[in-house]
Amino acid sequence: MADSALVSVVTPVYNGGRYLDVCIDSVRAQSHAELEHVILDNASTDDTATIAARHAGRDRRVRMYRNEATLSMLDNWNRAIELMSPEARYCWLLPADDMMYPRAIERMVDVGLRHPAVGIVGSLRRRGEAIECGGLPKESEVFSGREIGRLFLAGRVFAIAPTTNLIRADLVRARRPFYRSQRLHEDIAVFLEVLPTCDFGFVHEVLAFSRLDEESGTTTIRDYLGMLIEYGPDYFDAAELRATEGRHVRRYCRMLLRTYLTPGGALLRRQHMAALRDLGRVPGPTTYGMAIAEKAFALFAPRL
């Protein structure tokens, strides 16, 4: 069954020539042969098109397309997904600067096919020198999608990594467009919308590699709070959500206090205070006090 399950690896790319060879080679080297690699060049100005065309000429499974004009990132992602074969059973959105290890698709498809209720399959991944996405019980390979979403939003287990996850193609086709807003972490938001409808499979092996990007932790903390506010009611009862939001806002407060000690901190602080106002979560003195007290307790309690 695994050998007959077509997997569509989709790579939307703009000026990704620096790493594209490695990305495509990692797909072509998969032990699961029944795959296609759809590459959509977003009118790049580097050698992206040349590299993709070379691979397409060598391997019929590689299909290369090119936009006449540059689209927004998410519009390009959506168009790339629309190019997925109608026969595809699974989809993997793989950025041009990432790669997969040789048995990645084989191992993930195996979990998906043995558990039909699984809609998304993840694994451990290497990001730079770190191993990420750990923390789930190693004796299990299938989890409630709702529980995975709860763990993520609670900041306890970050098993969701959309660009290194396999998703059932029928779940992708059910959304038109697949990505519906321009927020920074729209790929994670989509998974949070899908997870309550399916189970989540997980392979406790390092099957993918993501390069470190220049995104700051402060951007992540802001976007995370927005997702918690928007999707938290789908995963927590009212009391749980208040407690979870409170912990995250206090964490945000500690980050803002650190900006007083960093160069350029005033500008960063203004940007994040504006974001907090937009979210309706501007902290008051009591919240700052609790944030400082929590940090002090964490630092000194072990010594008492």
Give the pLDDT confidence score for residue 214 in this predicted structure.
Answer: 53
Q: Is 182 helix (H, G, I), strand (E, B) or coil?
A: coil
- Residue 60 pLDDT level (bands cut at 50, 70, 90): very high
Q: What pLDDT band is residue 216 in, cutting at 50, 70 and 90?
A: very low
Domain check: are 164 and 276 in the same one? no
CATH code, 46 = 3.90.550.10
Instruction: Tell whether 206 and 161 lie within a shared domain.
Output: yes
- pLDDT tens column, 133-143: 999 999 999 99
User: Is 66 a member of any domain?
Assistant: yes
pLDDT at 1: 58
Q: Are residues 140 and 31 part of one domain?
A: yes
Question: Which of 162, 192, 210 is the C-terminal boundary of a domain?
Answer: 210
Q: Please, which residues have CB within 8 angstroms of residue 212's CB and are 6 or more apart in sequence?
A: 127, 128
Written as six digits, the tokens of 164 are: 């290194």
Question: pTM of the full predicted structure?
Answer: 0.90
pLDDT tens figures, 226-255:
899 999 999 999 999 999 999 999 988 998
Return the pLDDT at 219. 55
Domain-embedded: residue 228? no
Give the per-residue pLDDT at 275: 87
Write down the pLDDT at residue 224: 85
Q: How confident is the model at residue 184 (pLDDT cuts 50, 70, 90)?
A: low
Specify the DSSP class assigned to residue 237.
-
Residues 154 and 258 in one domain: no
- Which range among 28-32, 48-52, 168-172, 259-263 shows the weakest confidence by mean pLDDT? 259-263
Residues 152, 273 within the same domain: no
Least confident piece of the model among 78-82, 133-137, 290-294: 290-294
Residue 112 is predicted with a pLDDT of 97
User: Is the pLDDT at 303 greater than 70, yes or no?
Assistant: no
Pick from 40-44, 93-97, 195-199, 215-219: least confident: 215-219
- Specify if 164 maps to a domain: yes
Task: Mark whether 198 and 71 lie in a shared domain.
Answer: yes
DSSP sequence for 39-95: EEE-S-SSSHHHHHHHHHHH-TTEEEEE-SSPPPHHHHHHHHHHTS-TT-SEEEE--
Per the domain annotation, does 219 fall within a domain? Answer: no
* Residues 131 and 11 placed together within one structural domain of the fold: yes
Q: Which structural domain, as residue segments, surrounds residue 70?
A: 2-210
Helices (H) and strands (E) in the chain, counts: 11, 10
- Residue 225 is classified by DSSP as H
Domain-embedded: residue 231:
no
Tally of domains in the chain: 2
Within 8 A by CB and 6+ apart from 81, the residues are 10, 91, 93, 172, 178
For 139-187, where are the E strands, in sequence order?
142-144, 166-168
Q: To the nearest whole number, what is the mean pLDDT of the chain? A: 92
Are 65 and 198 in a shared domain? yes
143 and 276 belong to one structural domain: no
98-126 b/e with 16+ CB inside 10 Å = b? bbbbebbbbbbbbbbbeeeebbbbbbbbb
Q: What is the pLDDT of residue 150?
A: 96
Q: Is 234 helix (H, G, I), strand (E, B) or coil?
A: helix
Looking at the structure, do residues 17 and 146 belong to the same domain, yes or no? yes
Most confident of 34-38, 254-258, 268-272: 34-38
Share above pLDDT 90 across residues of the chain, in percent, rounded to a whole number: 81
Confidence of residue 48 (pLDDT cuts 50, 70, 90): very high
Whether 218 maps to a domain, the answer reads no
